[in-house]
Chains A and B, each alone.
Chain A
């Protein structure tokens, strides 16, 4: 198995960033083509890696390991398993698509694409890292590009939102760093390798910290990112004020780092503690789902509405993770990918609508289906997927998550949490249908006569999104088979 693939997938966007940032005299056009080229090649490599992933073996594949800092036993260690592979693919896909989405950016183009590509690279790095230090480094690097993307190319209260985003993330990762350091010293010999630590999970030396403290230090970092109520308040601001591509990356790929980290580090390294605290985290999941949905219902801003719906939908991920069953974990993994596609498309469509109509207040929109039919149809597909219509990825993901959580035998009373969370689906139907109706249906408004519909390039990426959403919806096994390979060893740690 060739080990350079993952490195290439991560380094291609970095190379793009360096080229774009430092070659003088590039035209805007050329910069866009460079960005598209590098992300496309990265995506193609990710697809090849996905196709080449040996499902009969499972485990970690495409490993690359090189010694980095011997004093603290840190390695440059990359690799993917069934859990991370779909997320790598998702990130590479979104990374390419956001370049297309950004085709109409004309302000400070050079910096814009440099940051955008660096953002993609760092998220890819998080999903590929098998060393805690490396994982944390990629986790932190992502903050800087996102800060600039929101604060320079954003809208509304962008400076406030961007610094809020940074401070929340750093606050979370501050605890995470303490957690990682504690984890490091609980192993003998000290190790930062996720694989080594997880393998030794039974015989962790009880030295410095009770495992519960480590677990909570780590989970605060992930909970900020996912986000989990009450640490979610950065999300609506950041998603709303970010440029369209930023919102797509944030909602599509970035917040998945939280869910991924919970499974990869919290659950698989400290399974017993995870089991102890599962009821509390399930309760937070239910609150996130219901509170997020309730707040969504009250929004009047198009983007803010989608942003809040993310809080609710990521609650399903938390539910799936801490139901701790093999099926529910698979569902959580699938929900992350599905939400990435659906919300990515929703934000892309919302951005397009706002760009063409120059209005984002739902109370002032209406009847746009006549003026922009293509956008209306695709927006509706994304919306319906998001509320869990069968044949879309949303249905498959939510169905598997709920059945998995309901039937999980690990946590007592999980049925009740699941039923409560399922109410979120009903609420989702409410706000999404209302949003679609307010925007596209109803009487045609004259002031919007003559607004543009999607152009060719926009149709291309819409088509790509829709195909994937339906593909995952109709054949979820493409992903679930892989995800299951990744989560079943984790589930078996707990006995589910």
Chain B
């Protein structure tokens, strides 16, 4: 048993426990955030130490430690750390449960890391529940009616999605007789094209898996929960949901569909087309619904549905690609990273602003440039990245993911996607317009804590750095995706 391979996860679990214990004794609650971030950093240290080693599996092939998992682990750790930094101001308003807040955040990060590591259906399901249940609680943390409604909706719909997922897993298990992804792949290949066609239960199982994970990544038509949950949840948790939960969903989809259902080609072609259609509908629905929004958190809810659509362009390319081709996977990895940095940056700026003005309405951001130029500039950079314009990470991500699609003859999908980017420019730029052109409601500066400023600096510079120094990151994404090519 190579327990040392689990060092990142074990250290994270220890951190969660330590935070809860510390909460009992510590007088200065600020310590909780510091301990959590240190725990995340230690875990990241273990992860980086393992990076580049050959792939290994542990616990009877239920967990895999490979570059793909490590890439995602670092992503989740970074996301969690930024969310904790950006919560510092927010959490100081709480009178109770500050220890639980941090512990739950760390635990959900742990769940997401295990999701990226798991190579067996039941383990995947358990990790997913660990991440989800923590998030259900976090969404309701404010305990006001809106937050409670948000949490309740998320819990009910999330539980339904989990049930659908479990049903799909059961069907796959029923037809293949195993829950190991690698063994499922062998079974499916033995069945061959005719065997798969003769096995409607397997196909139904795959469809249910798409539905279950579609909920996690906010893919149409499983996106109904998004705007309400995003609006009601505490803003740092909204940020966390929009990037962490989505990335974890994609991690699992990538692993399952690349490993278990990658062959025969006929099968991957089929689910590739399903993802292509979902992508086209998702982007369009998300972008068009975002247009009339007046609440910025709702707007970001719809925009995250659209972003999931762009990401699924990569899934479509992955399905359509020929055997051994991993451009779909690597473009998704890079896109997820760029999206996470830009979306988190935008949310951190929004948290700083809404802390002061106490409103989520876009019109109340009026004149923010005059009140706090750097904050407005950072938010603008992140929004430009989300539109997918240079000089920001989002542009490279879109260029890269669309290039993968064009290579696999999905030009029609790319044209829909680029036109959708034009639609998205309209609502993202509306926020920019209000901030730069509007008159400020008061001349008061918008204060922000040191932690928030650090997080904002990291993300907005990260957005630019991912554009200029895209080369090493794309290479890392390629090497992480390469393991699916063999």
Are A and B part of the same complex? Answer: yes
Query: Taking the nearest CB of chain B, how far is it from the CB of A345, in angstroms?
Result: 30
Check if B436 is an interface residue, CB within 8 A of chain A.
Answer: yes
6 other A-B residue contacts (CB within 8 Å) besides A71-B330, A163-B429, A178-B406: A71-B474, A71-B478, A167-B426, A170-B422, A175-B418, A208-B411
Q: Which residues of B contact A141 (CB under 8 A)?
A: 389-391
B437/A181 in contact, CB under 8 A? no
8 A Cβ contacts from B410-451 to A: 411, 414-415, 418-419, 421-422, 425-426, 429, 433, 436-437
- A159, B426: Cα distance in complex, Å: 12
Q: What CA separation (Å) do A209 and B409 show in the bound complex? A: 8
Confirm or deny: A166 has a beta carbon within 8 angstroms of a beta carbon on chain B. Answer: yes
- The one of A72, A144, A171, A213 that contacts B419, using a Cβ cutoff of 8 Å: A171
Q: How large is the interface on A (under 10, 10 to 19, 20 to 34, 35 or more residues)?
A: 20 to 34
User: In the complex, how many angstroms separate the beta carbon of A414 from the nearest chain B beta carbon?
Assistant: 32
Residue of B nearest to A141 (CB): B390
| Complex interface bits, A163-188 against B, C-beta within 8 A gives 1, otherwise 0 | 10011001100110110011011000
Stretch of B30-38, B336-344, B397-405 lying at the A interface? B397-405
Chain B residue with minimal CB distance to A209? B411
Does chain A have a CB within 8 A of B106?
no
Q: Which residues of B contact A152 (CB under 8 A)?
A: 436-437
* Also in contact, A167 and B422, with CB within 8 A (given A182-B411, A208-B411): yes
**Does B85 touch A at the CB level, under 8 Å?**
no
Cβ proximity bits B383-397 to A, threshold 8 Å, 1 near / 0 not: 010000111000110
- Interface contact B422-A159, CB-CB below 8 Å: no
Residues of A close to B422: CB separation below 8 A: 167, 170-171, 174
A143 with B436: CB separation less than 8 A: no
6 contacts between A and B (CB under 8 A): A67-B471, A140-B390, A166-B425, A175-B415, A175-B418, A208-B409
- Per the 8 Å Cβ criterion, residues 429-486 of B in contact with A are 429, 433, 436-437, 470-471, 474-475, 478
CA distance A166 to B415 in the complex (A): 18
Interface status of A335 (Cβ within 8 A of chain B): no
Q: How far is the CB of B77 from chain A (nearest CB, A)?
A: 25
Contact of B414 among A147, A166, A181 (CB under 8 A): A181
A157 smallest CB distance to B (angstroms): 13
Is B407's CB within 8 Å of the partner chain A? yes
Which of A185, A209, A213 has the most chain B CB atoms inside 10 A of its CB?
A185
Which A residue's beta carbon lies closest to that of B470?
A69
Chain B residues, Cβ within 8 Å of A151: 433, 436-437
With A181-B414, A209-B411 as known contacts, state yes or no: A137 contacts B403, CB within 8 Å: no
Q: Does A148 contact B (CB under 8 A)?
A: yes
Task: Name the contact of A178 in the complex, choosing from B384, B395, B415 (C-beta under 8 A).
Answer: B415
- Return the chain B residue nearest A177 by Cβ: B418
Q: Please determine whether B436 and A140 come into contact, CB atoms closer than 8 angstroms.
A: no
Given the contacts A72-B403, A140-B389, A178 and B471 also touching, CB distance less than 8 Å = no
Distance in angstroms between the alpha carbons of A167 and B390 in the assembled complex: 15
Asked if A159 and B399 sit within 8 Å, CB to CB, the answer is no
Per the 8 Å Cβ criterion, residues 332-368 of A in contact with B are none
Minimum CB distance partner of B409 in chain A: A208
Given contacts A70-B475, A148-B436, A167-B425, contact A184 B403 (CB under 8 A): yes
B400 pairs with A72, CB closer than 8 A = yes
Residue in contact with B471 in the complex, picked from A69, A137, A148, A182, CB distance below 8 Å: A69
Cβ distance B13 to chain A, nearest Cβ, rounded Å: 36
| CA–CA, A84 and B76, complex, Å | 47
Q: Report the Cα distance A163→B478, complex, angstroms.
A: 37
Q: List, in ascending order, chain A residues with CB within 8 A of B470's CB.
A: 68-69
> Which of B384, B437, B475 is in CB contact (< 8 Å) with A144?
B384
| Chain A neighbourhood of B402, CB < 8 A | 177-178, 181
Q: In chain B, what residue has the closest Cβ to A67?
A: B471
Given contacts A69-B470, A69-B471, contact A166 B429 (CB under 8 A): yes
**Number of B residues, CB within 8 Å of A:** 32
CA distance A116 to B65 in the complex (A): 51
Contact of B425 with A133 in the complex, beta carbons under 8 Å: no
Q: Which 5 A-B pairs have the closest CB atoms?
A: A174-B418, A181-B406, A137-B390, A71-B474, A170-B422
B376 to chain A, nearest CB (A): 11
Which residues of the partner chain A approach B407 to less than 8 Å between Cβ atoms? 185, 208
- The CA-CA distance from A67 to B389 in the complex, in Å, is 21
Q: How far is the CB of A77 from chain B (nearest CB, A)?
A: 15
Q: Which residues of B contact A133 (CB under 8 A)?
A: 399
Q: How far is the CA of A142 from the CA of B328 in the complex (A)?
A: 30
| Chain A residues in 8 Å Cβ range of B406 | 178, 181-182, 184-185, 208
Interchain CA distance A68-B478 in the complex, whole Å: 16
* CA distance in complex: A216, B384 (Å): 27
Q: Inside 8 A of A71's CB, which chain B residues have their CB?
A: 330, 400, 471, 474-475, 478
**Closest chain A CB from B396 CB (angstroms):** 8
- List the A side residues contacting B391 at CB < 8 Å: 137, 141
**Which residue of chain A has its CB nearest to the CB of B415?**
A178
Which A residue sits closest to B410, measured CB to CB?
A: A208
Known A159-B437, A181-B406: A137·B425 in contact at CB below 8 Å? no
> Could you tell me the distance between the alpha carbons of A189 and B433 in the complex, rounded to whole angstroms?
43
Given contacts A69-B471, A152-B437, contact A163 B426 (CB under 8 A): yes
**Smallest Cβ-Cβ distance to A217: which chain B residue:** B415
In whole angstroms, what is the CA distance A182 to B471 when docked? 21
B288 to chain A: closest CB distance in Å? 15
Interface residues of A in 2-40 (CB under 8 A from B): none
Structural contact, B471 and A147, CB atoms closer than 8 A = no
Q: Which residues of A contact B471 (CB under 8 A)?
A: 67-71
Most chain B beta-carbon contacts within 10 A, residue among A137, A163, A174, A208: A174
Q: Which of B384, B390, B426, B474 has the most chain A CB atoms closer than 10 A to its own CB?
A: B390
Instruction: Compute how far the CA of A84 lies from the CA of B293 in the bound complex, rounded to whole angstroms.
Output: 44
Q: A69–B411 contact, CB under 8 A?
A: no
Q: A68-B471, A166-B425 are in contact. Are A181 and B389 (CB under 8 A)?
A: no
Q: B399 touching A177 by the CB < 8 A rule?
A: yes
**What does the 1/0 interface line of A115-150 toward B look like (CB < 8 Å)?**
000000000000000000100010011011001100
Complex alpha-carbon distance, A152 and B370, angstroms: 13
- B162 nearest CB across to chain A (Å): 37
A72 to B477, CA, bound (A): 13
Chain A residue, CB-CB nearest to B474:
A71
Give the nearest-CB partner of B477 in chain A: A71
Interface residues of A in 371-400 (CB under 8 A from B): none
A167 CB contacts on chain B under 8 angstroms: 422, 425-426
Once bound together, how far apart are the Cα atoms of A152 and B438, in whole Å? 10
Q: Is the CB of B437 within 8 A of A178?
A: no
User: Nearest-CB distance from A149 to chain B (Å)?
Assistant: 12
Are B399 and A170 within 8 A (Cβ)?
A: no
Smallest beta-carbon distance B307→chain A, Å: 17
CB-based nearest B residue for A183: B406
